[in-house]
Structure 1
C-alpha cells in the first residue's frame, strides 16, 4: 500500500496526546518527540534514504548521496503544549510522500528531508533552536545554558540524546549542503479559507520575539498579611497583562501576547515572591516591534512600582521580519497554478535559513483557521494536494 499524508499522520495520532490540555504535547527530546523521530527515521530508511543526525540534532535523510547544493525540504516534530496534530508533522509527512512521488516520476538529483529540533521553543524557550545553531544565529554558550522548567540544561538534554554539547553551534559544512530549502506547513490562519484555495506560497514572516518579565515582590502568608501591607507581584503581573492588550491594540497590525505566567512559589495560600511572565510581540516593522516592547517594559516597571515591587525584562529571542526570495516565490507560485502569496505571523525554520540559502514556504489550508491548539485542522484531500504541490516544487528545482 502506498503511503499518503493522512495514513502517515494516522500512525502517530496516539503519540504525545495530552489528556489535560487536549491536543498534543511533544516537547523536544521528550519521550513523545523521540518516538516521532524514530518513526521518521524508520520511514526514511524504508525508502532507502541515507539517514544521519548532525551535531546540532537535526536529522537528515538523503536521496542521491550526501553533498552540497541539494534541494531540501522538511519541518519539525516538536509541539507547543496542547498543540494541534499538523504543526510540524504535516511538513514531515508531506516530504516523505513528495519523495515517493518524485521516485515514481523518475526525477533524479540530490535531495534531502531535514527534521529540525526545538522549532517551537516550548521546552528551552528559544524557537527554531536547531536552525539557529546551524546558522550561528544563537551563541552556542547561550544555547548550552538554556534550561527547562525542571532545571535541565539544553547541554544536558543534548548529551542524553547522543550529542556532544561541545560541538553545538555553527556548521558551515552542513549548511553548504542546502542549495534550496522549501518548507511545507499548515497555514496558521484563515487566508486560504477566505481565498478558497488549498495551497499558497509564503511571501513573508512577521518580525517577532519573546521576552521574559520577572516581577519581584515579597512572599508572605495569605491569611496574616493585611492588604495594605502587601507587595504582591501577582497583582502587578495581572495589571500588566491587561496593559499589554491595551498597548498592542493601539498599534495597527501589532500582536502582543502573554501566554505563560508562573508564580513563585505557587501556593494557593501564599503571596508570591516573584511572578515570571512571557511576552510575545509581532509586527511587520521591526522598529515598531521594538518600540512596543519598550512601552511594555516601561509599563511593567511602573505597575510594579505602584505595588511596591520591581520588574526586569530580558530578551529571550528575536527574529526580524522575513521577506522570502521573490524570484523563488514567484517561480513556485507559477508552477502551482498561480498559487496565492500569503504572509504569516508565525515563525519557522525557513525564516532562519532565509539569510543563508534560497528559501521558500508552502502553506496548506486550515479550515478552522486555528493553530497552536487542538482545533487545528487539515482536510485529507488538502493534505494530499499539499504533498503533490511540494513534489511539483521540488521537481522544478531539481530540474533547474
Structure 2
C-alpha cells in the first residue's frame, strides 16, 4: 500500500490548530509566548503522542515528534505555529499540519523509514522579538547577549515573556542540535505573494530567501500646542517620519535591486493627541534583499536619508539594529529532487526567490534545507483574508509526502 494524503484528515488537523487564538476580525492571535501560542503547542504535542511519535520540546518551546529510530540522524519537516497579530489561518500552521499528515500517511500505509522523520513545530518564527527563535535555537545561532537583550516592539523582554509562561530562557543556549543530527530540513509554506496564482502554477520551489534587517528608529522633537506654534518653529517628529517614508522608492532605486523591500511597519507617536505636535515618532523598519551587500547598502542609505530629514526638522535621531538575518541559498540537490518529484507527479513547478523569511532559511546553518510553496489567493498574507485553495494545498502535500518517502527510504 502506497502512502497517500488523507485530505479530510489534514483539514481536521489544520482546523484543530486554528481553534486556538481566533479573534473577532476572523484572524488569529498566537503571537510568540502568548497564552494561545502555549496552548496550541500543548495540543499539538498530544496529537503527536496519540500517533505514537516520540515527542519532545527544546528550550525555545519548539515541539518535535519523531517517527523512526530515536538516535539516528533525522529528516526534519515542519514550520511554525505562532502568528502575527490578527494573522491568517495558513501561514506556518499549514506546514506543520502537512508535516504530521505525511507521517500519518506513512504509518497508515505501514511505511517504515530507513531514516527517521521528525515533525517540527518551531516557536516564535514571526519575529515578535526580532528573530526566528525556534529555528535559530535548533541551529545553535542564539547568543547569550542577544537572548538577554531581545525585546518586542512594546519593550517586553524575551526573557520576561518566557518566564511568565514558566519557561527558563537559559535552556535555549543548550538546545542546539549537533552537527550531523539532522540530514535535511523541508518546509511547506504558502507563497505569501501573488506570483504562483498569477501564473497558474501549482508549486513554487524557492532557490533562496531574502535576508532581513530589523531596525528600531526613534525621532525626537518637541511636543507643543498645534495652534500656537508657527509652522517654521516646529520640531515635528511625524513630519520627519513622513519625509523619510516618501523617499523609500528613491532609496530602492538608488541602492536596491528587483528583490529589495523597505517597510515602515509599527509606528507610535507621542503624545498622539489631535491638538499636539508629535514630539516623538518611534517606528520599525524592515529591509530585505536577496544579497547581503545590497541590504547593507540600503541600510546605509536609509541612515543618510533619516539623518537629513532629522536635521531639516530639528529632530534627534537614533537607529538601532534589532536583528540581522543574512540571505541564503537553499540546497541545490534538494531543489533538484523536489523538481523531479513534481514532474513525476505532473505538478507544474516554478523556481523562485522567497521574499519572506522562513525557518528553512535559518536551518541552512545546520543542514541542507529546501521549501515548497503553494499559491496564496491574491497574494495576501499576515491578514485575516489569507487563503490558499484546497486543491493547491493537496498538491503541495502530495509533493512533500513523495519527497519524504524518497529521502527517508535510504
Contact 1:134 1:175 in 2 (8 A): no
Contact 1:368 1:375 in 2 (8 A): no
List aligned pairs for 1:144-159, cutoff 5 A: 144-159=148-163
Structure 1 residue runs of 5 or longer lacking an equivalent are none
1:215 counterpart residue number: 219
Contact 1:23 1:374 in 2 (8 A): yes
Compare 275-284 and 247-256 and name the one that shifted more.
247-256
2:265 counterpart residue number: 259
Contact 2:81 2:92 in 1 (8 A): yes
> Given the two structures, how large is their TM-score scaled by the length of structure 2?
0.90
Displacement of 1:176: 4.5
Report the Cα distance in structure 1 between the residues aligned to 2:122 and 2:310, rounded to whole angstroms.
39
Q: Secondary structure at the match of 2:216?
A: strand
Contact 2:235 2:314 in 1 (8 A): yes
Q: Deviations over 1:190-222 (max 9, x none)?
A: 232244232232211112221111111123344
Report the Cα distance in structure 1 between the residues aligned to 2:205 and 2:241, rounded to whole angstroms.
39
Q: Structure 1 residue runs of 4+, over 6 Å off?
A: none
Displacement of 1:175: 5.9
Contact 1:210 1:281 in 2 (8 A): yes
Displacement of 1:179: 1.6
List aligned pairs for 1:270-309, cutoff 5 A: 270-309=276-315
* Distance change in 2, residues 1:322/1:173 (3 Å): closer
Report the Cα distance in structure 2 between the residues aligned to 1:320 and 1:344, rounded to whole angstroms.
13
Report the Cα distance in structure 2 between the residues aligned to 1:242 and 1:221, rounded to whole angstroms.
26
Report the Cα distance in structure 2 between the residues aligned to 1:312 and 1:239, rounded to whole angstroms.
16
Q: Verify: 1:7 aligned to 2:12, yes or no.
A: yes
Compare 69-78 and 35-44 and name the one that shifted more.
35-44
Compare 143-152 and 308-317 and name the one that shifted more.
143-152
Q: Verify: 1:352 aligned to 2:362, yes or no.
A: yes
Q: Secondary structure at the match of 1:57?
A: coil
* Distance change in 2, residues 1:81/1:2 (3 Å): closer
Q: 1:119 aligns with which of 110, 125, 150?
A: 125
* Distance change in 2, residues 1:34/1:337 (3 Å): same
Report the Cα distance in structure 1 between the residues aligned to 2:137 and 2:276, rounded to whole angstroms.
40
* Distance change in 2, residues 1:209/1:74 (3 Å): same
Contact 2:59 2:174 in 1 (8 A): no
2:330 counterpart residue number: 324
Contact 1:15 1:36 in 2 (8 A): yes
Q: Verify: 1:47 aligned to 2:51, yes or no.
A: yes
List aligned pairs for 1:22-33, cutoff 5 A: 22-33=26-37
Q: Verify: 1:105 aligned to 2:115, yes or no.
A: no
2:3 counterpart residue number: none
Report the Cα distance in structure 1 between the residues aligned to 2:266 and 2:133, rounded to whole angstroms.
19
> Given the two structures, how large is their TM-score scaled by the length of structure 1?
0.92
Q: Secondary structure at the match of 1:4?
A: helix
Report the Cα distance in structure 2 between the residues aligned to 1:195 and 1:113, rounded to whole angstroms.
31
Q: Verify: 1:234 aligned to 2:235, yes or no.
A: no
Q: Secondary structure at the match of 1:201?
A: strand
Compare 300-309 and 385-394 and name the one that shifted more.
385-394
Q: Secondary structure at the match of 1:340?
A: strand
RMSD, aligned CA: 2.2
Q: Secondary structure at the match of 1:368?
A: helix
Structure 2 residue runs of 5 or longer lacking an equivalent are 1-5
Report the Cα distance in structure 1 between the residues aligned to 2:22 and 2:179, rounded to whole angstroms.
34
Report the Cα distance in structure 2 between the residues aligned to 1:35 and 1:163, rounded to whole angstroms.
14
